[in-house]
Structure formats: C-alpha cells, structure tokens
Chain A
C-alpha cells in the first residue's frame, strides 16, 4: 500500500513538473483608484500591457481575479474591457478588509493559459 501511494505521489509530481504549458505572463502594469481600496465600494483597475504582448491578447478571454491572501475567502472576478489596444480596465468590488492579490487570468488565442499577478493591495474598512 505504502509503495503504491509513493508511486502515485511520484507520478503526480512528474505531471506537475513536466507540466503542460506554463502560464504566460504578458507583462501588465496596473494602476488602482482609489488607493487603498475601500471595502464595499467598487474601485477601478487600469491595466497596460507590454507592447509585444498586445497582438496576442483578446480582452474577451481575460478576467481580473481578486483573491485574499487568507485562504477560504471569496474571490472577486471581473471582466476586462479594452479601452485602446494594450489598455484595459476593470471594476471590482471588494468585500473584506485585508490583503488582496489581483491576477489577470485567461487564455491566449492559441490556448495557452495566461496568469499574472498584477497588483497587491490592502483594503481598508470605510
């Protein structure tokens, strides 16, 4: 039994390492207003992406995810809206004071996953 479990473990680790496609980081810079974000109110995230990545991206296939660093708290998810080529905007409402991590996730046209941490913010109570 022990041996079988160990084998399964090794297999899982191998899958994880030889991985499918590593997620792609397009190179976003983010600007939040207001800073710090206030609990219960929406705030704006403006994103600008590195020029080289612009042709690869399609706003419709991207989302902004806000996760708390504390496990078990509800994440917030918002659609990205394209303002101009390479410039995106999202509005997100956060529900709890504390540390938030903002990620852009989604896919490229060729199916490769996108995942990039674009900002961290400590939300404060009103």
Chain B
C-alpha cells in the first residue's frame, strides 16, 4: 500500500507546496499561541496558548504518530521560519562531529520535562508563549549556523520524541523497487537533484534538496530520524519512493545497519533516548495524580526540601537510578539464564528498544486523556478571546458547556492503549530474543517480559489513581 498513489492524498503529498501549506497552518496556530499567551488572560484554562499547546498540540501529535506517522515534523512551523531565514543567509558549516548523536537532544528532552513540572508550565500562558518563541529562536540560530537539519537531528526535544514514537507508526518512506536504486547513479534522494548539466554554473545548482538528515533511501531502515518531510520523494528522479504501510514497531528488533544511524545496538545515545522517553512517560503521568502530590508534599515537609530539590530527586530516581537498576538487573538475569558472555551494556542495548511500544502507549493514554476531555474547550475559549478582544460576542457567548468526554469515560481507552503497547513490547522482546539467542530465546526473554509486565502494571496503576490538577497559576 502506497499513500503516494492514493487518490486525493497522493497528489496532495506529491504537490511541491504540500509541506509549506501544512507548515503555514501550524505557523498560524503558533502565532495565535504566542499572541494570546502574551496579551490574553492569565488563567491557563481560558488562554489559547496553554490550551492549544498542552491539550491539543501534544494530544494530536501522539494521535498522528499512532495513526499515520511523523506528521508534526512534516508540518513543523520552525522549519518554515528557518527556510525563510536561509533565503537571507545560507549556513556553510557542518554540525561539529563531536556533537553528533542524540546526547544534546536527550538532555534537552529531560530538561523540558523537568521545567514543565518545576514551573507548572501548563498553568502559565505567558511562559508557554516564551517557550514557543524560544523554540523558534533556537531553531533559527542552530540552522542558520549549521547546514542540513541540524536542529531536528541533534537538538530539538520534540523531534527526538517524534523520532522514537514514529518507530511504532504504521507508515514509513521506503524505496519502491530495489533494482531501480541499484542502478541509480545519482542518489538524488540524499544529495539533492541538480539542474541539468550545461547550466551556467561550474558546480551544478541543487534544484531540489535531498534528505537533510542524511538518510539514503536504499539503506534507510524504519522511521528513526525521518521527519516525513518528503524531500526525498520530490528529489528522486525515478519516482521510486513510497509512503508505505508496515508492521508498527517491527523495526525495533531490526539490527540491520541503517543509513544515517548505523546499527541500533551500537548506539548508547539512542538507548539513553529510549530510556528517557520510556521512563519519562511514566514519570510525567505519575506527577499528575494525587499520590505523587502527597509524596511531594511529604518530602517537602518531612525532609525540609524545596520543591526544586524534590523534583530533582524524583527525576534523578525516575530517569536515571530506577532505569539503571531495572535494566541492569534484567541484563544480568539474561546473562545468567543463557550463559551469554556479552557485556551487560550490550544486552541492555539489544533489549531496550522493546520499551518503546509500551511507553508510546503510556504517552498516548496520558495525552489522549487531556485531548479527549478538553477537545472542545477551544471553542468557548476562542469565543471568549474574541469577546475580550472586541468587547462584543462576535462568535457568540462562550459555550462553557462544550468540553469533551468525561474523565471517567476515557479510562477504558487509556487502559486499552497501555495494553496494546504492552503487547507490542512483548512482541519486540520476543523478536529480539529470537534474533540474538536462537534456541535460548525464552530464557533470554524472560527477564524483559517481566520488566514489561512490571512497567505496564505501574502504568495502569498510575492511570487508575485520582487525578489532581495542581498548578499554582499566576
């Protein structure tokens, strides 16, 4: 199945300006977010900045990843503004070799999760607006200094989230016919399509850029690092690229060498990214239920700690100590059960990818909850904004009754997403064990199946707790 050959969708996606048009829609939303965040009401639940960012954008992003693919990178407005900037100034430098890899992105991803809790960002419209502006500034500065998609590949925390979650997306870009690529002499999909020879310049001019993330289509495996930008589709002179359906998550157990990435088991930084993505999913959900707040209050009062130190401790425990202990224990058990002499770190890197489906289920359950319970609030808030702005109810008096599903009614869906994710993780554990341990596969898999079960039960327990919507607000 190839979406690029579908009626309507296909022609749209192959249209030269498809990406730009999507970017402009999201850019308009970003402009609304920034303006209302800065000049609108301080109360987060009546401000479009906080509602569109923390309810709609986050939720729809995860829904799109699960239903199709990395659509929010495809339509990312940061890249639109960056490309305008590049019309004025083309960067010459390459991203420094020492900074390759995901470490900066991992650190920023963890930092965003911590900042979000520490300052109750969801309750602060102006701070949310500044965060969005900060993203734009960072993207422009990085990408006007360095070539390619340096910001997406090495810096952007949202991008790293999308890359990891897109491994369980049902769609991917891949070559259509291996023979066409084998006989292809130009590799335009990665190096860009040049103007026909005989054109004025000495060096041929690139008329359509190739993959800015360095993914060479015949050697591309899976969705990691793919922004769904479709540049490769525009560039390939043989029309040999498909947006095809596939088994979600299967690539997590695929240890072939990938273009631009190498082999997954060799990448410590990717393992760290998956750890932050997975344990961050649980931590981020945990911090909004009542027991977490009781725990925080207790640590503050009984231990005499500040809120910042309490959160630093919880993040250290949740994103470093706990994963280290659990993954280490599982790796040692696998070694003991199979007599495998591989270093524990390597065993961890083999199996850590199996956390992704479950973790994506947890993110989807959490952000899906906010999206579904708050889906329609954007209507009364927009009405209210117009009322504030003009003094007249041009869109009618705010329909405050328009909200979304009742919180309790979302629980079955949340539980379903977590269980579906857990099944996906079990399948990845099984495939990995079969790949690396052959006949001893069940012995190798047992500790990781237990870990999956433990994490899935933790997730269900968290979702089952009463929510407590804290946030001091302004």
Q: How far is the CB of A41 from chain B (nearest CB, A)?
A: 15
For window 42-93 of B, CB contacts with A under 8 Å fall at 43-47, 50-51, 54-55, 84
| Complex Cα spacing A53 to B377, Å | 32
Closest to A75 in B: B400
Closest to A5 in B: B31
| Complex Cα spacing A101 to B469, Å | 12
Contact A72 B123 (CB under 8 A): no
CB-contact partner of B122 in A12, A70, A125, under 8 A? A70
Chain A interface residue number, banded: 35 or more
For window 176-214 of B, CB contacts with A under 8 Å fall at none
Contact A67 B46 (CB under 8 A): yes
Contact B404 A9 (CB under 8 A): no
For A75, list chain B residues within 8 Å (CB).
45, 400, 403
For window 43-89 of A, CB contacts with B under 8 Å fall at 65, 67-75, 77
Interface check B26, CB cutoff 8 A: no
Chain B interface residue number, banded: 35 or more
Contact A65 B390 (CB under 8 A): no
Interface check B467, CB cutoff 8 A: yes
For window 81-123 of A, CB contacts with B under 8 Å fall at 95-99, 101, 103, 113, 117, 122
For window 371-425 of B, CB contacts with A under 8 Å fall at 371, 373-374, 377, 387-392, 400-401, 403-404, 407
| Complex Cα spacing A1 to B31, Å | 14
Interface check B312, CB cutoff 8 A: no
Contact A19 B391 (CB under 8 A): yes
Contact B35 A71 (CB under 8 A): no
| Complex Cα spacing A72 to B59, Å | 11
For B403, list chain A residues within 8 Å (CB).
73-75
A71-B407 contact given A15-B390, A99-B472, CB 8 Å threshold:
no
For window 11-61 of B, CB contacts with A under 8 Å fall at 27, 31, 35, 39-40, 43-47, 50-51, 54-55
| A-B CB pair tally, cutoff 8 Å | 116
Contact B390 A68 (CB under 8 A): no
| Complex Cα spacing A97 to B194, Å | 60
Q: How far is the CB of A39 from chain B (nearest CB, A)?
A: 8
CB-contact partner of A97 in B51, B290, B387, under 8 A? B290
Closest to A120 in B: B473
| Complex Cα spacing A23 to B471, Å | 25
Contact A68 B45 (CB under 8 A): yes
For B31, list chain A residues within 8 Å (CB).
5, 8-9
A71-B54 contact given A16-B389, A96-B469, A99-B471, CB 8 Å threshold:
yes
CB-contact partner of A71 in B50, B388, B392, B466, under 8 A? B50
A97-B468 contact given A16-B35, A67-B43, CB 8 Å threshold:
yes
A-to-B contact residues, CB < 8 Å = 1-2, 5, 8-9, 12-13, 15-17, 19-21, 23, 65, 67-75, 77, 95-99, 101, 103, 113, 117, 122, 125
Given contacts A67-B43, A74-B373, A97-B468, 9 further A-B contacts (CB under 8 A): A19-B389, A69-B469, A71-B54, A71-B123, A73-B373, A99-B469, A101-B473, A113-B391, A125-B468
Q: Which 9 A-B pairs have the closest CB atoms?
A: A72-B374, A20-B391, A98-B469, A72-B55, A74-B403, A70-B469, A69-B473, A71-B50, A69-B471
A-B contact list, 10 entries, CB within 8 Å: A5-B27, A8-B31, A15-B389, A71-B44, A73-B403, A74-B403, A99-B469, A99-B473, A122-B470, A125-B466
